[in-house]
Chain A
């Protein structure tokens, strides 16, 4: 285990300090408590003691000014073997206000950015002797707890609301349950096409909400059972950090001693600073999932994944929907071609969508809301703010123990370790990719790293899923990202209307796009707009994970008739050899 020597905060107003003198040399052995360094801030020199006994590695040289909290050196303590010790040092410019002392202009200083790469201890750790405390029981925290328990550790999971976190209770699961009801209701309009005669079809919104609640509570109960079966102690309350080995439960003041801590406190919906944002009737997804009755009209601010899913589900329940998105396309992180195609399909369903438009403010008119966006105004019953989510660290106590936060998110290295050794963080609170399945993968990796089985987190093959109808499943790079990275790329496309199963399903809107890099034909991106896309994308994810080539996708036999054949055909189309596309004239 290595211990970071960082610039201490020696006073409330201290922003940076200067390294006056290293008292020990690079590679020298130091004892815990021994003076290894003298730093200076505003006419005061201060002796820094070594935090441990081991070998000293110097990161920043003498005479350099370093902001408070940044890395100065590392002590590689004894009782462990080290596989690699490396760190990045970047030169940044600190503006004059932040420089202590006589500066009247900007000073160039070394500030080590990116913490030390995980120093790997190869000495076997006995997990059964370790107590892991996980703060947060959502899709980041509970898999971390279960993995740690499977590895033999004692585990305590502190959750202040309900197990399953945002995903199970206020996110993925309830929205998809509502989307399912919306989609079934929408299908009834085409029953005659399939030879089904129905007299009258009506939407029972109370039952829609009831079913959503049943799905959620079934999953929560199941999760509670699984967690219990693993011997994990669940404590209900708000966990806060006291020091790097102690967590306190705020409600009971109980202090829990931890050998390893995993932070998984998730995220909350963001609001934008426009007038009227706090009016009643201006809601986020949290409230949208608990509506008691359907509004007649709704405006959705934000055309990202959350906004678009809510837009379609409410539109299908006969609410008049307008979506306003400030960027040039809805679903800004998706491939532009796919996003545009979905946008036109949603518009055909009657959803009004405005891109490149900013919402200026919200006013009241009677019991409705007036929303001013672009040059227009809309009068609606409800405004749904879906502009994104931000990491939630309030009351966690991270600043107390020196866990670094940047732009609101906890900073971690590739081993999910924070700037405090043996304290890890995963999921939305680190803000890398805010998806439940990413939080789960991070949670499992963090548990392994905490218990001595080092494993780096990779974001190479992370699928994204949108549960509209048609669904959108994607993994890897968009067309633009691939072009920026590789210059020339290879692409193949296949329209769903040419796929037999899509025709059988009666869902022929959509297409598949496969993107490959030019050198080896390795597939770098797959985008699937169509029925079952969110399930289909798993094949592509596995392929990208295994660095499969276009050839391998194209020549894997896919069952017929399935929607999955479209991926195979799109891969064949990269070389112009798709079977089920009419032959194109050779150029």
Chain B
């Protein structure tokens, strides 16, 4: 039986969340998928869900003004195969590409105290704890969003809360992306700080197959959930 059958999630069941692992999905397709999942979550037809994936190279912008933080001519981006996509999360401009682990969380914040800052804090904690597993000392900075190592950003966070407190979007963790691509923008609108990745900090490549389960573990820990993997084949769109 597919978990997407219209079974209403009962409130007093033990809290479980689903994890959907994908490989590479274009940004706009992932956005449409998220929006469908948000509707299903709001109706109570699915549980809270963590989606892990990567994107082909893309620079995402939010409000019109954020386009100003693209600091190379647009044809340069095109030449490198980087597309531009408009998105509805909070935050400024950012870059996604292969080698960067993107996590989208579709969650009902009515069950988490309707506190947005708390939610962002939890996502930051997941990443900080994950990096600790790799003996990387990561931290938050109250002035700048995201997760930092040696004053360089290793993970970006951007969330959208749709009506009735259902979330979408989440985080982007630099495992070993093309860091040069980041130089084409002021990431998150921050002009005076650099970007880093696990590969850069550790000086070696990181096994993605090992990283994802660790991240899922920290996710279930921080949000106090038990996770259940669902398969792409269960999704119908």
Contact surface of A with B, Cβ cutoff 8 Å: 10-14, 20-21, 33, 35, 38, 40-47, 49, 62-63, 102, 104
Contact = CB atoms under 8 A, between A and B. Distances in A.
A38 B63 CA distance: 11
B89 A45 contact: yes
Given A44-B90, A47-B161, 13 more contacts: A10-B117, A12-B115, A12-B117, A13-B117, A20-B63, A40-B90, A42-B90, A43-B145, A44-B120, A44-B161, A46-B161, A47-B160, A102-B143
Given A63-B65, A102-B189, A43 B143 contact: no
- Interface pairs A-B: 9 shortest CB-CB: A11-B117, A45-B90, A44-B159, A43-B91, A11-B115, A10-B116, A44-B90, A46-B161, A43-B145
Contact of B115 (A10, A20, A38, A43): A10
B114 interface: yes
Contacts of B160: 44-47
Interface centre among A42, A43, A104 (most CB of B within 10 A): A43
Contacts of A49: 163
B117 A42 contact: yes
- SS of B interface (majority): mixed
B190 interface: yes
A334 B82 CA distance: 74
A422 to B, nearest CB: 25
28 contacts: A10-B117, A13-B117, A14-B117, A21-B63, A38-B88, A41-B116, A41-B117, A42-B90, A42-B116, A42-B120, A42-B145, A43-B90, A43-B145, A43-B159, A44-B120, A44-B160, A45-B62, A45-B88, A45-B89, A45-B90, A46-B90, A46-B160, A47-B160, A47-B163, A63-B63, A63-B65, A102-B189, A104-B143
B158 interface: yes
A43 B157 contact: yes
Contacts of B159: 43-45
Nearest to A35: B163
Contact of A45 (B119, B144, B161): B161
Given A21-B63, A102-B189, A102-B190, A44 B116 contact: yes
B118 interface: yes
B114 A10 contact: yes
B158 A43 contact: yes
Given A41-B90, A63-B65, A102-B143, A47 B116 contact: no
A11 B163 contact: no
Nearest to A40: B90
- Among B63, B88, B115, B116, the most chain A Cβ lie within 10 Å of the Cβ of B116
Interface in B99-152: 114-120, 143-146
Contacts of A13: 117
A79 B120 CA distance: 41
Q: Using C-beta atoms within 8 Å of the partner chain, give the interface range for chain B.
A: 20 to 34
A400 to B, nearest CB: 14
B120 A43 contact: yes
A11 B114 CA distance: 7
Nearest to A104: B143
B40 interface: no
Point out which of A14, A46, A49 has the most chain B C-beta atoms below 10 A from its C-beta.
A46
B214 interface: no
A228 B160 CA distance: 55
B218 interface: no
Interface in B35-71: 62-63, 65
Contacts of B190: 102
B212 interface: no
Interface in B152-175: 157-163
Contacts of A35: 163
A16 B10 CA distance: 35
A17 to B, nearest CB: 10
Contacts of A38: 88
Contacts of A11: 115-118
Contacts of A10: 114-117, 161
A279 B160 CA distance: 56
A386 to B, nearest CB: 44
A511 to B, nearest CB: 63
Contacts of A40: 90-91
Given A21-B63, A42-B116, A49-B163, A102 B144 contact: yes
Contacts of B65: 63
A63 B114 CA distance: 24
Contacts of B145: 42-43
Nearest to A49: B163
A540 B159 CA distance: 64
Nearest to A100: B117
Contacts of B144: 102
Contacts of A21: 63
A13 B89 CA distance: 20
A68 to B, nearest CB: 12
A46 B65 CA distance: 18
B32 to A, nearest CB: 17
A12 B189 contact: no
A388 B70 CA distance: 59
Contacts of A62: 63
Contacts of A42: 90, 116-117, 120, 145
Nearest to B166: A47
Contact of B116 (A33, A46, A102): A46
Contacts of B158: 43-44
B193 to A, nearest CB: 11
Nearest to A41: B116
Contacts of B115: 10-12
A204 B127 CA distance: 80
A196 B68 CA distance: 95
Contacts of B157: 43
A278 to B, nearest CB: 38
Nearest to B162: A47
Nearest to B189: A102
A358 B190 CA distance: 52
Contacts of B88: 38, 45
A38 B90 CA distance: 10
Nearest to B63: A20
Contacts of B117: 10-14, 41-42
Contacts of A63: 63, 65
A95 to B, nearest CB: 15
Contacts of B143: 102, 104
A102 B89 CA distance: 17
A12 to B, nearest CB: 6
Nearest to A62: B63
B144 to A, nearest CB: 7
Contact of A14 (B91, B116, B188): B116
Contacts of B89: 43, 45
Most A C-beta atoms less than 10 A away, residue of B117, B143, B146, B159: B117
A40 B65 CA distance: 14
A46 B162 CA distance: 6
Nearest to A14: B117
B140 to A, nearest CB: 11
Contacts of A104: 143
